[in-house]
Amino acid sequence: MIYWHIFLAFFIPGILGYGGGPASIPLVEHEVVGKYEWMTTQEFSEVVAIGNSLPGPIATKMAGYIGYTEAGILGSIVALFASVAPSLILMIFMMAILMKYKDEPEVKNLTMLIRPVIAILLLFMTIQFAQESVEGIGIGYTLLLMAVSYILLEKIKLHPAIVIALALLFGALTG
Amino acid sequence: MVERMIEKKTSDRPGRILHRDISLAFFRIGMLGFGGGPSSIPLVHKEVVKKYEWMTEDEFGDTLALANTLPGPIATKMAGYIGYRVAGVWGCLNALFASVFPTVLLMIVFLGLLQTYKDIPWVQHMSASVVPVVAVMLGVLTWDFIKKSGETLGWLRAIMMLVVSGVLIEALNIHPAIVILGCILIVFLPLLKRRKKV
């Protein structure tokens, strides 16, 4: 049963996440935190944070890790299979068909139309994380950390891994 | 014609060396691609087109365009498909394993360490300090998606889509999957109708 739930939790984001792995983060959160309650928002944010600072595809890092914490190595394999296999099989078998239709405006429109839906999901997640942070460390630290990390990430263009490392260091020193 | 050229190119390499090449290529792509799958596309291009010449520029462009129109993580779609093209089912599995396994292992080790010591107060404060940083990262990603939506759909339609999907998902509590499936239907119904006429 747990394996079936793990499969579903990663199959749905894998098959609906238009725009690559990062687009599936809010969909994964919806399943893992919202539906199955395997993790709290805080724990999920750690997964996203470490996932963002390590190299490699983000969707499979999350699937592999969450599957592992829920049901060991087999759980990890089930989660990876669910997030990778359906879209890959589609890719291989539909290549010929899509090649024929790839210039049809409808196919091009699809990604365009789904992008704002993903954007709104990401927005809700952003707000949820900000709220969670205010509850955890207070509004003062939250605003300070958000402002500093925004400047470091977007203005100074520091690598996300370095910003996460600095935040961890800051938390350890002030904790 | 192009198909045949590629087959010849790959058959020059004995199986074992070809599989070693696939492993190395996708291991490097996985370990050097910071920022998730989409940011590793240039690395895939470098290995597959420039270094090993498994595909021409045009074929790579077509593969990428198609991968973009299909759902799911982009890095594994590219790895699996390219592995399959170059060396069949085993090539596909090899490329997937090389791009996914090392980074999942890193994840488990790093988060495992954090979990083990999570009851110490300063470790708690440490992991709580990461939450606002993630909020900023998600905020930036949100803005990227909104900006791209405005550029491709036009701002009026983009804002309409944002508001409608926001109301559906948050106020009416409809599962995001249903909203996305709705979009897919809206896009493909006219195409199906047109096909029937022809």
Q: Inform me whether the pLDDT recorded for A90 exceeds 60.
A: yes
Nearest-Cα distance to chain B for A2, in Å, is 19
Binary contact (B123, A175; C-beta < 8 A): yes
What is the residue type of B148?
K
The CA-atom distances, in angstroms, between A47 and each of A91, B103, B117 are 28, 13, 16
Characterise B71 by phi-psi region: left (phi > 0), alpha (psi -120 to 50), beta (else): beta
* Unique residue bearing structure tokens 């109708």: B193
Q: Quick check: A147 and A158 in contact, CB under 8 A?
A: no
DSSP label at B123?
H
Binary contact (A80, B100; C-beta < 8 A): yes
Residues counted in chain B: 198
Name the residue among A88, A141, A145 with its Cβ closest to that of B77.
A88
pLDDT tens readout for residues B105-125: 999 998 888 888 878 888 878
* Unique residue bearing structure tokens 């045949």: B4
**What is the chain A residue with the closest CA to B97?**
A80
Averaged pLDDT score across all residues of chain A: 86
Neighbours of B189 (CB within 10 A): 11
Helix, coil or strand: residue A36: coil
Kindly state the average pLDDT of the residues B63-76: 81
Alpha carbon distance A88, B179 (integer Å): 23
Between B108 and B186, the more confident residue is B108
Q: Quick check: B72 and A17 in contact, CB under 8 A?
A: yes
Nearest-Cα distance to chain B for A6, in Å, is 16
pLDDT tens readout for residues A99-157: 666 666 766 677 788 888 888 888 987 898 898 889 888 999 999 999 999 999 899 98
pLDDT for position A150: 94
Name the residue among B103, B134, B179 with its Cβ closest to that of A48.
B134
pLDDT for position B5: 43
What is the residue type of A95?
M
Name the residue among B66, B96, B177 with its Cβ closest to that of A102.
B66
The Cα angle at residue A81 between residues A76 and A84, in degrees rounded to 5: 120
Binary contact (B129, A115; C-beta < 8 A): no
Helix, coil or strand: residue B105: helix
Averaged pLDDT score across all residues of chain B: 83
Of residues B97, B70, B72, B104, the one with CA closest to residue B83: B97
Characterise B54 by phi-psi region: left (phi > 0), alpha (psi -120 to 50), beta (else): alpha
pLDDT for position B98: 94
pLDDT for position A146: 94
DSSP label at A23?
G
Characterise A19 by phi-psi region: left (phi > 0), alpha (psi -120 to 50), beta (else): left
CB < 8 Å to B100, chain A: 56-57, 60, 64, 80, 84
Alpha carbon distance A101, A24 (integer Å): 25
Between A160 and B109, the more confident residue is B109
Report the percentage of chain B scoring pLDDT > 70. 88
Binary contact (B33, A57; C-beta < 8 A): yes
Query: Which of A31, A123, A151, A162 best tests the B interface by mutation, with the highest count of B CBs <10 A?
Result: A123
pLDDT for position A36: 94
Q: Inform me whether the pLDDT recorded for B142 exceeds 90.
A: no
Kindly state the average pLDDT of the residues B127-150: 87
Neighbours of B16 (CB within 10 A): 8
Kindly state the average pLDDT of the residues B76-98: 92
Nearest-Cα distance to chain A for B74, in Å, is 5
pLDDT for position B1: 37
